[in-house]
Amino acid sequence: MRLTKFGHACVRLEKDGQTIVLDPGCFTEPEAMAGADAVLITHEHPDHFLEDRLREAAEANPALQIWANATVAERLTGLGEGRVQRVGHGDAFDAAGFAVEVHGEWHAVIHPDIPQVLNIGFLVDGEVFHPGDALTLPEQEVPTLLLPVHAPWSKQSEVIDYTRAVGATRAFALHDGLLNDRGLGLVATHLGNLAKDTTYHRLLSGEGVDLP
């Protein structure tokens, strides 16, 4: 499987000539969607989901399939019978030849005065876990964690403890678009020193890696 990072919270996974894209949002370069067979959306916030862009992609590619939580699926009505699949915690499905399991239900709390929204995480081929905007524990082995390293709803100690709890072999930075180089360096230092059982990497946008 080939994993390529795009922008803030988006990754592209390729295997056997098939491609799925997770969370292409407002900080994601348009080329992330090129040739995609399926799109998975964790939640409705614009850094993870842009309705107009996804509708344009669906209209350009009649074969494109989309999986998302109930709120996002409702916003994508009218794309055609069977194009958009509504999924939630505990569901499992095949997306363009990738086996996907759904974990989690809610976005992390940003502030008590801000309403919580639905958020689901996707475990792809039992290898890569994208939690969206939550620190969801999949309750099974996760070799590759896409780690949200910075957000209005998190603090560094929580990110470190989450990395330890998941216990992945490797973690790649996700949700890093609001940090400058100093902040990114500090995150890398803390994770390197305090989450030693997990090897932490940060891919630049457009950079990819082959997973075992």
Q: Report pLDDT digits (tens) over 77-102.
A: 999 888 999 999 999 999 999 999 99
How many domains in the chain? 1
Query: Is 170 in contact with 201 (CB distance < 8 Å)?
Result: yes
Q: In this predicted model, what pLDDT tens digit does every residue of 154-182 receive, in sequence order?
A: 999 999 999 999 999 999 999 999 999 99
CA pair distance 70, 128, nearest whole angstrom: 23
Q: In this predicted model, what pLDDT tens digit does every residue of 37-76 receive, in sequence order?
A: 999 999 999 999 999 999 999 999 999 999 999 999 999 9
Percent of the chain clearing pLDDT 90 (strictly above)? 97
DSSP H helical ranges for 38-153: 51-60, 70-75
Query: Is 23 in contact with 5 (CB distance < 8 Å)?
Result: no
- The domain that holds 59 is classified in CATH as 3.60.15.10
What is the domain extent for residue 175? 2-207
Has residue 94 been placed in a domain? yes
- Regarding pTM above 0.85, the answer is yes
Has residue 142 been placed in a domain? yes
Has residue 123 been placed in a domain? yes
- The CB-side HSE value for 35 (13 A sphere, CA atoms) comes to 7
Q: Which pLDDT does position 13 carry in this prediction?
A: 98
Q: Which pLDDT does position 212 carry in this prediction?
A: 86
- pLDDT of residue 107 exceeding 90, the answer is yes
